[in-house]
Structures are given as structure tokens and as C-alpha cells.
Amino acid sequence: MQEARAAFAARLREIRIEAGLTASDLAARAGWQRSKVSKIEHARQAPTVADVAAWCEHARATDQMPDLVASLHAVEGMWVEWRRLERSGLRRLQEASIPLFERTRSFRIYEVGVIPSLFQTVEYATARMRRIVEFSGVPDDVDQAVQARMDRQRIVRTGDRTFAVVLEEAALYARIGDTEMMASQLAWLITVAGLPSVSLGIIPRGIARTMWSTPGFWIYDDGRVGIETPTARITITQPREIAIYERTFTELSSMAVVGAPARRIITEAISALDC
């Protein structure tokens, strides 16, 4: 968080310098004490939206204001620790994302080693969450959390939404349960991929790559990117960064096979379970 604030402060300082303003000049024009400019530029004081607007106005950089405001919001809300979210159990964590899911019309999802939560079976979701409880030591409400996840999946079949999903082939082989459970999950993935609202692409393991693999990410419409790490949920709302993730998703999609070739890869993964 502090690194993000420092980067944002450095960007404001660059804008001031490019405008040919000293800190005293900017403070005078904005009607601030000079120390305020110094505190903001050294990340000792967080600017408000009004501060950013005034900064851009007096530095003749109003064209950058939308991006800066989005960055400001992102800095304050981009990093939410899992421990705090999980403190009262996993059910509330599942329910917390329902409003975002319901208002999103276009989902672009990339995963490296896991089947996306919207396409998981009860058994697969249970195995995933059971392991999270064991590893993190959070309250055990797995049954309720799995039910909440299943309830959330209704958005796949309701409303005017689209789901563009790209999976690394490795995700099909990441076994978190017995053979029967994994076979059922992969068969269900084939079924879901047949829905009109879903486009499923698989990046073959042996393909000549034009884009490296990255941590999994979800793009919600054009205004938000979500990333989950072992310690935190990161939310990105800065337009410049979102554009990079959109380009990344496009590149990854270009390497993926869809339709019958994708189904064939999944079927081969099911057959490999018996080996």
C-alpha cells in the first residue's frame, strides 16, 4: 500500500515539474500552505479528490484528472487482506462479491491452475474451500460458503451477460480431489462451455507462446480488474492498468483453442485421470 501511495505521489510531482511550477507556486495558486504540497509529494499526506482536481487545474493537466482520480481510488482500495475478509468465515466472502457479479455484463476470466468459481461443481468447490480452511485456520463454514458460491453461479444462466474464459491446460490437471470428483468437474466444464453466453478457450501446454502466463485475473466490464493472491484481493480501477490487462487477455486468448479442439483437450484430461 505504501509503495502504491509513493508511486502516486511521484506522479503528482512529475506533473508539477512538467508544468514548470515550484511547490510554492502550486501552493499559492491552490490556496494551500506550502507544506501541503511537500507532504503530498512525499506520501506523508493522502490527497483528496478535490486536491487532485486542483493540482491538475493549476498544472494545466486536466486531461490527466480522470486517470489520476481512478488511481487515487485504486491506491486506497486496491489491497484488501484475505485474513480480514476471511475472519468471519468464507460464506460472507462469497456473498460480498454478489453485487459486483450481478451488475457486471461482460466477464473476461483468465486462470492458470484452477477452474473458475462460476464453473465449479459442489464437490470441487468443497475441496478447494476445505483446503483454504485447513491452511488459513479460518472459521469452518465450508458447507454454507459452497452453497453461497453455487447460488452465485445463477448469473451464468440469467441476464444478458457474457463470459469469455481462458484457461491454461495445466488447470485441467491440477488435482485437488479424487478421480471421480475431477472427472465430474471436467465434464461439467464441457457442459458449461456449451452455453450461448460462455466462450471457453484452452491454451495448450505445448503451444509456441506469444504471451507469458500471469497470475489469474478477472476483468469486470471495462472498469475493474480483480486478482487474488495467497494474502490479498487486489482491485485495479486505473484505466491505464486496466488497458494493460485487456491487452494481456487479448494476447492470451489468441493462443487458446476453442470449440471442438478445446473439448478434445478437456476429454484427454479426463482420460488421463485413470492413468
pTM value?
0.75
Tens digit of pLDDT for each residue in 158-204? Answer: 889 999 999 999 999 999 989 999 999 999 999 999 999 999 999 99
How many Cβ atoms sit within 10 Å of the Cβ of residue 90?
25
Residue 78 reports pLDDT greater than 70:
no
Assigned C-alpha cell, 19? 508544468
Please state, in angstroms and as integers, the Cα–Cα distance from residue 99 to each residue in 45, 136, 147, 177, following that order: 32, 26, 17, 31
In which band, very low, low, confident or very high, does the pLDDT at 236 lie, cut at 50, 70 and 90? confident
Integer-rounded Cα Rg, in Å, for the chain is 22
Specify the residue for cell string 465430474.
Answer: 184
Q: Rounded distance, CA 184 to CA 266, Å?
A: 11
Mean pLDDT in the chain?
Answer: 90
Tens digit of pLDDT for each residue in 92-150? Answer: 888 888 999 999 999 999 999 999 999 999 999 999 999 988 888 888 899 999 999 99
pLDDT (0 to 100) of residue 96: 84
pLDDT (0 to 100) of residue 137: 84
In sequence order, which residues have a C-beta less than 8 Å from that of residue 196 and are 6 or more positions away?
Answer: none
**Strands in 169-246 per DSSP E:** 198-203, 217-220, 224-228, 232-236
Sheet with 217-220: strands ordered across: 79-81, 232-236, 224-228, 217-220, 106-111, 162-168, 198-203
Q: Rounded distance, CA 7 to CA 72, Å?
A: 11
Per-residue exposure over 93-108, b if at least 16 CB sit within 10 Å of its own CB, e if not = bbeebeeebeebeebb
Report yes or no: 218 and 228 within 8 Å, Cβ to Cβ. no
Q: Rounded distance, CA 266 to CA 171, Å?
A: 10
Higher pLDDT, 41 or 79: 41
Q: Rounded distance, CA 238 to CA 181, Å?
A: 39
